[in-house]
Chains A and B, each alone.
Chain A
Amino acid sequence: MKYLLLKHYRGGPAPAVDWAPMDQWTPEEVDAHMQYMRDFAARLEETGEFVDAQALAPGGTFVRYDGEGRPPVTDGPFAETKDLIAGWMVIDVESWDRAVELAGELSAAPGAGGEPIHEWLEVRPFLTEPPTVTE
């Protein structure tokens, strides 16, 4: 079963720990945070559970169709109040419980002072192919 671990810049439940923004950490703390993410991904590759990890820049815009022959309408940059996705990791694991366990570990990435930042991660199952045997 594949699951998406979704990391938000903004949105989701209220933060459990009110940690300072990353630019206020020491460079070593930033490095330690990044290294934790890389180690985590490497460990999942080792266990045969890693599928993909990507990060998104915060900038961007909403775009929509505005009728034949007209340029698309854009709306942005995102308002401060909007949910903003920072990136994701895709895992392929044996159970929902394992997905939750791994999300918990990823959320323990260290921040200022080397303490876990306790950030909320959204866990979402992928829709799959329908099974061959259906009735």
Chain B
Amino acid sequence: MNESLLRELVPAVIGVLVRRGADFASAEDAVQEALIRALATWPDDPPRDPKAWLVTAAWHRFLDAARAETSRRGRELTVDAEPPAGQAPATDDTLRLYFLCAHPTLPPGSAVALTLRAVGGLTTRQIATAYLVPEATMAQRISRAKRRIAGLPLDQPGDLGTVLRVLYLVFNEGYGGDVDLAAEAIRLTRQLVALTDDPEVAGLLALMLLHHARRASRTGPGGRLVPLAEQDRSRWDTGLITEGVAILQAALARDQLGEYQAQAAIAALHADARSTSETDWVQIVEWYDELLRITGSPVVRLNRAVAVGEADGPRAGLAALADVSPDLPRYAAVTAYLRERAGDLEHAADLYVEASRAATSVQERDHLTRQAARVRQRPRP
């Protein structure tokens, strides 16, 4: 039994405890403790029925904690020590956990942490390591999040949009210590696709697969960032691309377009091309128009300008920047790129320098610094 199979059991086991009368916060704590014990003991002594083992261990943990709590407060224990073996479908339990852990009242960072623990079955330590904070801090973040949602009914439909945003956040975090968060986000989104019937969930999964397919080519020696135009496309994972495109096509066929499907469509057009010059930029611009119509996002407007620059030339791209706010994080980088393409090398180099100062990641900063240096080396016409 490997760790990921063990983790898949976690939401269902929490569901069993909740159905037996445990509140979500205590059930989740008890399962986490059982999980940590399983990780320590199973390698030497694997159980015959892993799920039953986890349910029993977690239920005993829960009873112990509840007894300690009731004696502390001098109150009666209200759950049955020997519960009836009720069997509600486990899929519903898992879906409810997604909604609860990504509840709109939670700050995004807390929703991410709680989702990874209760739905993803990661330990607090793994989540803390992935997000580079002390374990005690992460433990507090999770218990605060649980206090915040305490008392919310588990049996009501939640906000799917927030769930998708949380999964997208996890995916965007990439690698995190010994946990591959991108792969974990894909696993959780895949599971959600099986539990729901919404083309946007499929759209998000397609988007993730299409980006994940390019992962190996996105970084060069020393972790340097390789932009799309320079990526070695033979290293793209064609299996993931095929799967992503198929999922996207099925989703689009349902004719309920949303932002993730539109983003996935753009990723699919990139994945489909053998080079930037063979990329169907006209269609990409059309998808950006759709995306802009759906989201109205200034970042989309900025990215659209890049696509316009490829489809209709750098002058058109610069013109498309006219109604984009220069305060956006990557505004200078996009302007620099378009200026260089338009032959305005002097401005381009200065803009790359400006962009490197505004970069939010080391890789991006280094990449933009290299771009500035490269443009300065170019012979002037």
Cβ-neighbour of A45 out of B109, B140, B364 (below 8 A): B140
The binding surface of chain B is classed by DSSP as helix
A90 → B minimal CB distance (Å): 9
Give A130's nearest chain B residue, CB to CB.
B361
**Residue B141, interface by CB 8 Å:** yes
Contacting pair B132 A45 (CB below 8 A): no
What is the bound-complex CA distance between A51 and B182, given in angstroms?
Answer: 23
**Residue A101, interface by CB 8 Å:** no
What is the bound-complex CA distance between A101 and B94, given in angstroms?
Answer: 37
What is the bound-complex CA distance between A81 and B174, given in angstroms?
Answer: 43
What is the bound-complex CA distance between A46 and B144, given in angstroms?
Answer: 8
A62 → B minimal CB distance (Å): 24
Give B107's nearest chain A residue, CB to CB.
A94
**Residue B92, interface by CB 8 Å:** no
What is the bound-complex CA distance between A100 and B168, given in angstroms?
Answer: 27
**Residue A128, interface by CB 8 Å:** yes
- Interface size class of chain A, counting residues whose CB lies under 8 Å from the partner chain: 20 to 34
What is the bound-complex CA distance between A129 and B173, given in angstroms?
Answer: 7
Flag B171-202 by CB within 8 Å of A: 1 or 0 each: 11111000000100000000000000000000
What is the bound-complex CA distance between A122 and B364, given in angstroms?
Answer: 24
Chain A residue numbers with a CB within 8 Å of B266 are 135
**Residue A71, interface by CB 8 Å:** no
Chain A residue numbers with a CB within 8 Å of B215 are 132
What is the bound-complex CA distance between A130 and B144, given in angstroms?
Answer: 28
Contacting pair B137 A49 (CB below 8 A): yes
Cβ-neighbour of B303 out of A49, A52, A128, A135 (below 8 A): A135
Chain B residue numbers with a CB within 8 Å of A113 are none
A128 → B minimal CB distance (Å): 5
Chain B residue numbers with a CB within 8 Å of A44 are 137
Contacting pair A46 B171 (CB below 8 A): no
**Residue B245, interface by CB 8 Å:** no
**Residue A54, interface by CB 8 Å:** no
Contacting pair A133 B207 (CB below 8 A): yes
What is the bound-complex CA distance between A44 and B360, given in angstroms?
Answer: 24
Flag A1-22 by CB within 8 Å of B: 1 or 0 each: 0100000000000000000000
Give B168's nearest chain A residue, CB to CB.
A133
Cβ < 8 Å to A, chain B residues 330-372: 359-365
**Residue B131, interface by CB 8 Å:** yes
Contacting pair B361 A127 (CB below 8 A): yes
Cβ-neighbour of B182 out of A50, A94, A132, A135 (below 8 A): A132
**Residue A72, interface by CB 8 Å:** no
Contacting pair A48 B211 (CB below 8 A): no
Residue contacts A-B, CB under 8 angstroms, 11 given: A48-B137, A48-B138, A48-B140, A92-B137, A128-B360, A129-B173, A129-B174, A131-B174, A132-B173, A132-B211, A134-B228
Chain B positions within 8 Å of A, measured between CB atoms, are 107-110, 113, 131-134, 136-138, 140-142, 144, 168, 171-175, 182, 207, 211-212, 215, 218, 225, 228, 263, 266, 270, 303, 306, 359-365
Shortest beta-carbon contacts, A-B, top 10: A48-B141, A130-B361, A131-B172, A48-B140, A127-B362, A94-B107, A132-B172, A132-B174, A130-B363, A50-B137
